[in-house]
Amino acid sequence: MTGVTVIAEPRPKTRNGTALLIGLAVVLLLSALLGLGIGSSSMTLERLLLAVIGQGAQTDELIIWTLRAPRVLLSGLAGMTLALAGLLLQRATRNPLAAPSVLGITDGAALGAVGFLFLFSNESNSLTVSIYWQPLAAACGAAVFAVLVAVLAKGAARGPVSLILHGFALGKLAQAGVTMLMIVGPVYRANQAATWLAGSVHQARWIDVAIISVLLAAIVPVVLLLARRMDQLLLDDASAEASGLPVMQTQALLLALAVVLTAAAVSFVGAIGFVGLIAPHAARLLLGTRALPVMIGTAFIGAVLVVLADVVVRYLFAPFEVPTGAVTALIGAPYFLYILFRSGRAHA
Options 198, 234, 322, 340; binder of another protein; rule CB under 8 A = 234
Q: Ramachandran region of residue 236, left (φ > 0), alpha (ψ -120 to 50) or beta?
A: beta
Q: How many CB atoms lie within 10 A of CB 189?
A: 17
Question: Does 243 participate in binding another protein (rule CB under 8 A)?
Answer: yes
Q: What letter would DSSP give residue 121?
A: B
Options 290, 312, 335, 340; binder of another protein; rule CB under 8 A = 290
The nearest distance, CB 331 to another protein, in angstroms, is: 23
CB 152 within 8 A of CB 180: no
Site stretch for another protein (CB under 8 A), options 154-162, 198-206, 212-220, 224-232: 224-232
Question: Does 159 participate in binding another protein (rule CB under 8 A)?
Answer: no
- Total of chain residues touching another protein, rule CB under 8 A: 24
Closest CA to 310 of 149, 131, 74, 116: 74
Question: Does 186 participate in binding another protein (rule CB under 8 A)?
Answer: no
Q: 94: helix, coil or strand?
A: coil
Options 239, 318, 330, 338; binder of another protein; rule CB under 8 A = 239
Options 14, 122, 124, 130; binder of another protein; rule CB under 8 A = 14
Question: Does 222 participate in binding another protein (rule CB under 8 A)?
Answer: no
Question: Does 289 participate in binding another protein (rule CB under 8 A)?
Answer: yes
Cα–Cα distance between 323 and 302 in angstroms, integer?
Answer: 17
CB 348 within 8 A of CB 94: yes
Question: Does 244 participate in binding another protein (rule CB under 8 A)?
Answer: yes
**Where are the alpha helices (H) located in the chain, listed in sequence order?**
17-37, 45-52, 58-62, 69-93, 105-119, 134-155, 160-184, 187-198, 206-225, 227-232, 237-242, 247-269, 275-287, 291-317, 324-342
Q: Which is nearer to another protein, 74 or 223 (CB)?
A: 223
Q: Which is nearer to another protein, 125 or 239 (CB)?
A: 239
In the complex, which residues of this chain contact another protein (CB under 8 A)?
Answer: 11-12, 14, 225, 228, 231-232, 234-236, 238-239, 241-246, 284, 288-290, 347-348
